[in-house]
Chain A
Amino acid sequence: MSVDTELINTPFTSYHIAAGAKMVPFAGYNMPVQYKGITSEHLAVRRNVGLFDLSHMGEFEVSGLGALEFLQSVTTNNVAALTPGKIQYSCMTDAEGGIVDDLLVYRLADRFFLVVNASNIAKDFAWLDSHKPKGVALVDRSRELGLLAIQGPNAQKVMAQLTDYDLDSMPYYTCANARVGGEELLFSRTGYTGEDGFEMYIPNAACARLWEKVIAAGTKHGIELIGLGARDSLRLEMKMALYGNDIDQTTTPVEAGLSWIVDFSKDFVGSPVVKKQKEAGPTRRLVCLELEGKVFPRHGYDIADERGVIGKVTSGTFSPSLQKPIALGYVPTDKSKIGATVDIIIRDTRHRAVVVKPPFYKQASHR
């Protein structure tokens, strides 16, 4: 992206600025990184409920005869397992098994709905388009839809004020078209925080009206506005991968611990490499690392052992929930077992880190 590209505002940008948000450029969008403070926003989602503007995320529709077979051929998870109303986490891999993007695949009544990372919208669209057979329609809805997420143990209380839809019988990773806040829209029980929560895909024209309704319903429950800063620490505590940090086209699903979203019995772009790697075992793995003391591991810091530098931290933070430093990073397989120890080099000093079982935060209302 060229540096003089104008930032894209979301349908909610003026609300963020009015709320005193600190705005930053993110994937070409003008986004709120924090309002009151990352730590308090993080804890508000863990303990109560928070509202996120995620309108920068990309949405594609895939329809037509052969849509299912097409998605089977370009994504790693088993799309045939989806019945209408169900959602799966998946990824797309290139011919070398590198991750093109991670995404959500929604099966609707008459089409599929894909949610992709903002930074990859153009790349993903071109990738899908180049693999798409005739007869399958691929449409980019990214600029037509706003996306709001309500996340936290009390998310359902807020959502119940906005819709008559039966939320009690709505399982995690399912979606519905329903009237929410007076608007007909697609919403799902999904999120990137580990907590219970909902995500709403809102036609641009309805965004301002819905924002007011969500704030009105949420205020009764003490809802807080949450920026991208807390979104990052919330997902990291759950070991949810961030594209561009923890996964990219130089990493495979097997290395990243994402074999659970790979159907090894089917063929897809990259499957020969991915299957072979699964069989032989990867030479490195993405692991959860916990440290002690008052240090702050950050993206790009070296991981070392007695052999020298053996890997890099891909994400790190001082966990607001656990009150200790946590990190994700790739290490050689022999150092990837739970309990293995490595050093993270923070400003020329080695700090002992222990490989721990994911997720870091184990009390989340959903996982």
Chain B
Amino acid sequence: MNIPSDLKYTKEHEWVRVEGDVATIGITDYAQGELGDIVFVELPDIGAEVKQLGRFGTIEAVKAVSDLFSPVSGKVVDINKGLDDDPMVINRDPYGGGWIIKVKVTSSGELAQLLGADGYKKIVTA
């Protein structure tokens, strides 16, 4: 199971990568494996406000449906439009081409409340 050490994680299996004041958000390799083939992703509109650990979308997989929770608060500045035609890119490349939204972060202090790779690994291997 791939858990990159340079990312932060939620207990709900989202990851976040912060570059400058923009956070890129997706779901983890573990999450995509548990969900199985992803059929579609309901995305927020660009400009929408998201709250830390607030719901921002839904992911429908063959085996289950799951809500998506934002690791950080902020304004949605980009969504991965490629997911419309090829949602299974999340299964193939969860930390790369399978990113879901980008958020302009309002409070960098929130990152301290997220899990590091080691902390997240403990959750999924417990």
Contact = CB atoms under 8 A, between A and B. Distances in A.
Main secondary structure of the interface of A (DSSP, over half): mixed
Q: For chain B, give the interface size range.
A: 10 to 19
Given A296-B65, A298-B65, A39 B60 contact: no
Nearest to B58: A347
A294 B62 contact: no
A150 B33 CA distance: 27
Interface in A32-81: 33-34, 37-40
A38 B88 CA distance: 11
A37 B65 contact: no
Nearest to A41: B37
Nearest to B62: A38
Interface residues of A, number: 16
Interface in A222-245: 229, 233
Contacts of B58: 347
Contact of B91 (A37, A294, A298, A318): A37
B40 interface: yes
Contacts of A154: none
A229 B65 contact: no
A317 interface: yes
Interface of B: 33, 36-37, 39-40, 42, 58, 60, 62-63, 65, 88, 91
> Across chains A and B, which 6 residue pairs bring their CB atoms closest together, nearest first?
A294-B40, A296-B60, A39-B37, A318-B39, A38-B62, A37-B37
30 contacts: A22-B33, A33-B63, A34-B36, A37-B36, A37-B37, A37-B88, A37-B91, A38-B62, A39-B37, A39-B62, A40-B37, A229-B36, A229-B62, A229-B63, A233-B62, A294-B39, A294-B40, A294-B60, A295-B60, A296-B39, A296-B60, A296-B65, A298-B65, A317-B62, A318-B39, A318-B40, A318-B60, A318-B62, A347-B58, A347-B65
